[in-house]
Amino acid sequence: MSAGPQRPFVSLKFSPAGRTYSFLLPDLALDTQSNDAPPMPAPGERLVVETPEGRAIGTVTRIASALAERRRPAADSPNVVVRRATREDVILRLKQQQREQEAHRVAQLKIRERGLPMKLTKVEQTFDGSRIIFYYTSESRVDFRELVRDLAAHFRIRIEMRQIGVRDEAKMLGGYGSCGRPLCCTTWLKTFEPVSIKMAKQQDLSLNPSKLSGQCGRLKCCLRYELPNGKGVKHGGCAEGGSCSNPTGPGGCGSCGSGGCQTCGHR
């Protein structure tokens, strides 16, 4: 029995420097004003999508044909496209972004006034306007109950505080690594795997903390990429400062098997 046709999908970004997410397109036409089947959403087009965190608005981005099948979400994925974004949706999101900036400024003032040991990282308002989420880092537990009351009284909306780690902070803010490429955690990494100084020793790297630390101040995630794999093959080149050569042949990184070296861009 042959499988039915696979549902089409698109790749979206929620911020210019953020990672790319895949969303299934609905079976029904996205444009109900025409009886003809509408074209696929074009890169740069805005779409309203359903995510595990609620509805959001994102921008369609290009995806390399060689990566298309690997980016395809599961058939039962909760990430689905709701509709094309209207002019009102775009204006609403712009207003929310302005409110996020104002909320960030007000929260910073309140944090200083109360002397709380926390660093505000980012502020997000949900697309449905039901709540504002404040992300912060702290080395200790923070009693922010009075802060939440101040913010709720100021914005007249539900306030949610979320403590994150320094790696999550770097993932949210983005930036460029010493390799000159956008941070891996911002663009493609899904989880943070354990990284130890032993990994640097196995690669005969200099144990200089300034060279081994990433934007987050922790050991670079890419220290895992060039460890010997199960067959003892090392992806030599990136860490050793030479030209990148892939000993396993084209189509895969000798260490992570990710389809290319994420550090130097070798494919």
Q: For 18-60, write each residue's pLDDT tens digit.
A: 788 889 888 654 554 555 556 788 889 999 999 988 899 999 9
- Token readout for 168 is 């999550």
CATH T-level topology, domain 91-164: GMP Synthetase; Chain A, domain 3 (3.30.300)
Report the pLDDT value the prediction gives residue 203, as an integer from 0 to 100.
83
Backbone angles phi, psi at 55, to 5 degrees: -75, 150
Cα–Cα distance for residue pair 122/101, rounded to 1 Å: 9
pLDDT lower than 70: segments of the chain: 1-5, 27-38, 228-267
Residue type, 222: C
Report the pLDDT value the prediction gives residue 5, as an integer from 0 to 100.
63
- Token readout for 23 is 């969303």
Nearest to 179 by CA among 241, 227, 235, 224: 241
Report the pLDDT value the prediction gives residue 36, as an integer from 0 to 100.
56
Model pTM greater than 0.85?
no
Cα–Cα distance for residue pair 187/255, rounded to 1 Å: 19
**In contact, 167 and 187? CB cutoff 8 Å:** no
Report the pLDDT value the prediction gives residue 254, as an integer from 0 to 100.
36
Domain spans of the chain, in order of start: 9-85, 91-164, 176-267
Cα–Cα distance for residue pair 43/12, rounded to 1 Å: 9
Backbone CA torsion sign across 94, 138, 210, 247:
negative
